[in-house]
Amino acid sequence: MTGNEQPLDARLAAAGEAWRTRRYTGAALPRSSVAPPIRRWTWALPAAGAAALLVLVAGGLFDRDPVWPDSLRPVVRGSPYDVARPERGDVTLTVAMPTRPVRRSCFADPSACEQPTG
Amino acid sequence: MSSPPADDWDLLASVRRDPTALDALFRRHRDTVFRFAYARLQNEDDANDLTQEVFLRLGRYRRPVFRRARFSTWLYRVTANLAADEWRRRQRETPVAGGEEAEAPANPAAAKDLDQVLALLPELPERQRETLVLRILEGWSVAETAAAMGVSNGSVKTHLHRALESVRRQLED
């Protein structure tokens, strides 16, 4: 007899032992295999964008010198076009008239427009 | 005194924060994964590549870790799925001969039987092949084999019985 005369169970057990001696012969894992940097930082860009947007929105909401439309622009107090502050419950706005006309020549000669003293 | 080795599931849960966790898993399970892959792909180079791929995927693992099974049975499932994908991909491409075992076997008769069993594997239905690899070659229990395959113990025994009939015929030829 030339074949293996052992019972099948024994032959398979021996084959299993031979099988379990087989080893991985490839390379080690690359260092970048854990948490690739590009993935680690992907959350940072949208987060930074959202934070910047939040700052812009908050800045706009609490801006003390907003850009007003011309029709609503408040005039600087003390100027010839000062708007009188309405009393409580008063719905009419009283516009103070300029004390004197502003002339074009004021631009050329500011001393001509000075308020009279005393 | 050294601390006890970390549980495999704990290591998997920490692979994204701790680079040494994946290395630890790799050292523990690379040979087993390699054999799972080899049993399916029948090519050492492809099995090595697939082993790397399995662990690279574990390195990117994001899902919550559930300890529903033994880690090795779960790892078998991961490897089997990737190996099946690779096998299908190879069916569409021209096969390339890979490097084979060069080492002289310690038990030539067992090595010859093993070669015959391995040659039989691609011809077996998937369930019989898995049963033969896990139960006979890897030496897992019926329950472990059933858990890895997602079938009942009785089903494992049935598949094993059929697979062993094929093996018996192969070895007697």
For residue B118, pLDDT over 60 is answered with yes
H or E stretch covering A107:
helix A105-108
Percent of chain B with pLDDT over 70: 91
Of B34, B112, B136, which is closest to A22 when you measure between CB atoms? B34
User: Tokens 């427009």 — which residue?
Assistant: A113
* pTM for the full predicted model: 0.65
pLDDT of res. B168:
93
> B98 Cβ partners below 8 Å, 6+ apart?
B43, B44, B45, B46
Of residues A2 and B88, more confidence is placed in B88
- SS3 label, residue A46: helix
CA distance B128 to chain A (A): 15
The chain B residue lying nearest A30, using CA atoms, is B56
- SS3 label, residue A22: coil
ipTM rounded to 2 decimals: 0.85
For residue B117, pLDDT over 90 is answered with yes
A87-91, B35-39, B121-125: the lowest-pLDDT one: A87-91
Of B22, B35, B49, which is closest to A29 when you measure between CB atoms? B22
A91-104: per-residue pLDDT in tens?
555 566 656 555 55
A20-30: per-residue pLDDT in tens?
999 999 988 88
Measured distance CA(B140)–CA(B76) in Å, rounded: 12
Measured distance CA(B80)–CA(B74) in Å, rounded: 10
Task: Classify residue B130 by burial, with Cβ atoms within 10 Å: 0-12, 13-18, 19+.
Answer: buried
pLDDT band at A2 (very low <50, low <70, confident <90, very high): very low
Please report residues of A whose CB lies closer than 8 A to that of B114: 15, 18-19
Q: Find the DSSP H helices in chain B.
A: 8-13, 19-41, 44-59, 71-92, 108-120, 126-131, 142-149, 153-172
Of B61, B16, B32, B85, nearest to A20 by C-alpha is B32
CA distance B143 to chain A (A): 18
pLDDT, mean of residues A49-54? 90
